[in-house]
Amino acid sequence: MNKIVECVPNFSEGRDKEKLECIVDEVRKQEGVKLLDYSMDKDHNRSVVTFVGEPDMVIEAAFNACKKAAELIDLRTHKGEHPRMGATDVIPLIPIKNISMQECVEYSKKLAKRIGEELNIPVILYEKSASRPEREDLAVIRKGEFEGMFEKLKQEEFKPDFGPDQPHESAGVTAVGARMPLIAFNVNLNTNNLDIAKKIAKAVRGKSGGFKYCKALGFELKERNIVQVSMNMVDYTKTPLYRVFQVIENEANRYGVNVVGSEIVGLVPMNALVDTADYFLKLEDFSYDRVLENKIYGD
């Protein structure tokens, strides 16, 4: 592959494995694309799929997966902990090798145009692809969720960049854009008190005075009878995982609860974990060049 793009679409289905497999099959069968990972979350009722490949092939796979999701997922009956506005909720493109962020922006527009015109699903460009400053933040776009989009899209500041001016009746609205690698990082607490998770999420969330490159919400994990601080780390080089984890642990102790585990949804850059190991192990004169796999595989 001369140019490599990563695509990490999020689908509003985390309970029906057969449906997800049908969506993922659209990626599997695409020539020039490699499926790296996919996962389901029952509580969030959401799935994350990760694949890489040549840009044009990645766009084709993403479009076909979005089309299949629109056929199988009906948001009128969808319930889950995670905010959502579309059957295919968001499709980010991430530059990996021999491709610039601006090139990914252009590819995201190409994909968005096809989804809007061929699938009749309104698309709003976000992050580096955003057509207006207020559209850069996915949380701002998605506020109100599927049910609120019918009124929201009537506002000039949220008029879709492509496709119709009203949500698809069952597939809703999709956000498409180019961005930096994002880490979906969740921390679980040994309490079922959702208010505690929400307070801790507020403490680490950038918009409420926490870490600039951290987005956070508090959720219930009903099957486990615990709560979770669910985060998107939008730039781990500027807000590292270990720093946020420590603050969550300290805040949890304030409320008399403990961290019982953490999880990463999807894939994670090796450097993010190396940085965490370096910090907690207090390694001296350590660098990424001393990681065995880095020496074996290189760039």
The highest-level CATH class for domain 4-178 is alpha beta
List, for residues 29-74, the tens digit of each pLDDT value: 999 999 999 999 898 899 999 999 999 999 999 999 999 999 999 9
- State residue 269's pLDDT score: 86
Give yes or no for residue 1 having a pLDDT over 60.
no
Give pLDDT tens digits for 100-154.
Answer: 999 999 999 999 999 999 999 999 999 999 999 989 999 899 999 999 999 999 9
Residue with tokens 């689908």: 11
* Stretch(es) of the chain classified as CATH 3.30.990.10: 4-178
Model pLDDT, residue 2 = 87
Residues of the chain with CATH 3.30.70.670: 183-295
98 φψ region: left (φ > 0), alpha (ψ -120 to 50), beta (else) = left
Helical (H) or strand (E) element with 202: helix 194-204
Poorest-pLDDT segment among 55-69, 119-133, 177-191, 259-273: 259-273
Instruction: Using the predicted structure, report yes or no on whether residue 180 has a pLDDT greater than 70.
Output: yes
Measured in degrees and rounded to the nearest 5, phi and psi for residue 204 equal: -100, -15
* Confidence grade of residue 91 (pLDDT, cut at 50, 70, 90): very high
DSSP structure string for 43-75: TTTEEEEEEEE-HHHHHHHHHHHHHHHHHH--G
Share of the chain above pLDDT 90, in %: 83
Superfamily of domain 183-295: Formiminotransferase, C-terminal subdomain (3.30.70.670)
Catalytic hit among 44, 78, 82, 168: 82
3-state secondary structure of 187: strand
Q: What is the mean pLDDT of residues 83-103?
A: 95
Task: Give residue 38's pLDDT.
Answer: 93
CA 150 – CA 144 distance, rounded (Å): 10
pLDDT band at 290 (very low <50, low <70, confident <90, very high): confident
Residue 174 · residue 91 · CB < 8 Å? yes
Residue 61's alpha-carbon distances to 34, 51, 52, 162, in angstroms, are: 10, 9, 10, 19
Backbone φ, ψ for residue 217 (5° rounding): -140, 155
Identify the band that residue 298 occupies on the pLDDT scale cut at 50, 70 and 90. Answer: low
Average pLDDT, the chain: 94
Residue 240 contacts residue 279 (beta carbons within 8 Å): yes
78 carries an active-site annotation: no
